Amino acid sequence: MADEITETSQTVAAGQLRAIIERIERLEEEKKTISDDIKDVYAEAKGTGFDVKAVRQLVRMRKQDQAERQEAEAILDLYKAALGMV
C-alpha cells in the first residue's frame, strides 16, 4: 500500500521534474542564441576595424555610475603617477 502511494507520488514528481528541466533547457537554448548574437556583434565590430577589447571595456564602463567611475579613474591615475607608470 505504502509502496503504491510512493510510486504514484514519484510518477507525478517525475512529470513535474521533466517539465521543469525542459523549461530550463529551452531557456538555456534561448540564452545561448543571444550569447551567440552578442559574439556576432563583436565580430562585426572587429571586422569594421574597431578594437574589441576597448569596446568590451566601454560596455562595462557604461554600466557604472559616472561619478563613481570618474573617481575610480582619478585614484588609479594618482597611484600610477606615484609608481612612475605612464
The C-alpha atoms of residue 86 and residue 77 are separated, in whole angstroms, by 9
Q: C-alpha grid cell for residue 44?
A: 562585426
Using DSSP's 3-state secondary structure scheme, residue 37 falls into helix
Regarding 43 and contact with a second copy (CB under 8 A), the answer is no
Q: Does 51 interact with a second copy (rule: CB under 8 A)?
A: yes
The answer to whether the CB of 45 falls within 8 A of the CB of 55 is yes
Which of 20, 22, 24, 23 minimizes the C-alpha distance to 12?
20
Q: Does residue 7 belong to the site contacting a second copy (CB under 8 A)? A: no
67 binds a second copy (CB under 8 A): no
Q: Would you tell me which residues interact with a second copy (CB under 8 A)? A: 10, 13-14, 16-18, 20-21, 23-25, 27-28, 30-31, 34-35, 37-38, 41-42, 44-45, 48, 50-51, 53-55, 57-59, 61-62, 66, 70, 72, 75-76, 79-80, 82-83, 85-86
